[in-house]
Amino acid sequence: MSMPALVAERTRLELKMFARHREQVAVTFGMPVLMLVLLGLISGGTVDGTNVPLSRVHAAGMIAVGIVAVGFQGLALAVAAERQDGTLKRLRGTPMPPAAYLLGKIAQVLTVTLAQVAVLLVVGVLWLDLTLPHDPMRWLTFVWVFVLGVTVATLFGLAASGLMRKGANGAVIILPFTALQFVSGVFVSFSQLPNSVQEFAALFPLKWLTQGMRSVFLPDSFRAVEPAGAWELGRVALVLGAWGVVALVVWIKTFRWSENER
C-alpha cells in the first residue's frame, strides 16, 4: 500500500477505536458542552466596560479549551496507555511505517477536534448568544488560529506522552491543563485577572489561543478591554508557532515506542 493509503487506513482505524470507547467520546464531547452551558447559566451580565455578554467570552474560551483538550490531554493519555500496554511495541514490529501511525493519530485528532468545535458552535449560537461572524476575514483568522492550535496541542500531546512513565496517571496531564484554564481567560475575563497572573498565563499557548478565538467571535469593541488594547494576532501566531517548535523538539527527543527505551 502507498503511504497515503496506509495513513487513510490507520486514520479509519483510529476513529473506529475512538468511537468504541463510549466513555471517552462522552467526555470529549460532553464535558466542554456541559461546562459551556453551566457557565452560561451561572454568569449573566456583560464584561465591565463593554456591552459584550460574558457568555460569549466563555464560548470563545471553551472552543480554545476543546482544541487543546483533544490534541494535548486526550492524545497524551491515549499514546501513553498504548505504550504501557505494549501496543506501540507490537505496532513497531509490523511492516507499517511509524509515520503512518503518527499521521493517523494526527488525522484522528483533527477530525475529532473539528467535530467538537462544530458542536460547541451550535450550542453557543442556540443557548449562549454567540454570533457567528459574517466577515470572511474573521473566518480566515479562525482557520489559521485553529490549525496552529491543533498543531501545537497535538505536538504537545505526543511530547507529553513520552514524558509519562509507567504507572503515571492522568492527573499529571489533567491538573496543569485545568489550572491554565482558570488563568487564560476562559472562565474569567482575562483583563480582570491580576497583572502577575496575566504575565504568568502569557507564557503558555492556551492564553494566546483563547485570545485568537476572541478576535474571531467577539466584536472589535472588545479590544478595548484586552491588556494590549488590541487582538495582537501577529503575536498570537508568533507565540503559538514558537511553542509548536518547542513541542516538536521535545517530542523528537522523548518519544518512545516501548517502556524499555531510553
Kindly state whether residue 262 falls inside one of the protein's structural domains: no
In this model, does residue 118 exceed pLDDT 90?
A: yes
Non-local (6+) Cβ contacts of 7 within 8 A are 99, 100, 103, 104, 107
Kindly state whether residue 109 falls inside one of the protein's structural domains: yes
In this model, does residue 208 exceed pLDDT 70?
A: yes
pLDDT in tens, 22-59: 888 888 888 888 888 888 778 778 888 788 888 888 89
**What range defines the domain where residue 42 resides?**
3-254
pTM of the model: 0.89
pLDDT score of 218: 93
Kindly state whether residue 101 falls inside one of the protein's structural domains: yes
pLDDT score of 169: 64
Count of CA atoms in the C-beta half-sphere (13 A) of 225? 21
Tell me which residue of 72, 58, 145 sits closest to 112, measured CA to CA: 72
Averaged pLDDT, 195-221: 94
Non-local (6+) Cβ contacts of 67 within 8 A are 113, 117, 146, 149, 150, 153, 209
Kindly state whether residue 163 falls inside one of the protein's structural domains: yes
In this model, does residue 167 exceed pLDDT 60?
A: no
Kindly state whether residue 237 falls inside one of the protein's structural domains: yes
Q: Give whichever of 48-52, 166-170, 175-179, 195-199 has the largest mean pLDDT.
A: 195-199
In this model, does residue 83 exceed pLDDT 80?
A: yes
pLDDT score of 261: 64
Kindly state whether residue 79 falls inside one of the protein's structural domains: yes
The total number of structural domains in the chain stands at 1
pLDDT score of 209: 96
pLDDT in tens, 4-19: 898 899 999 999 988 8
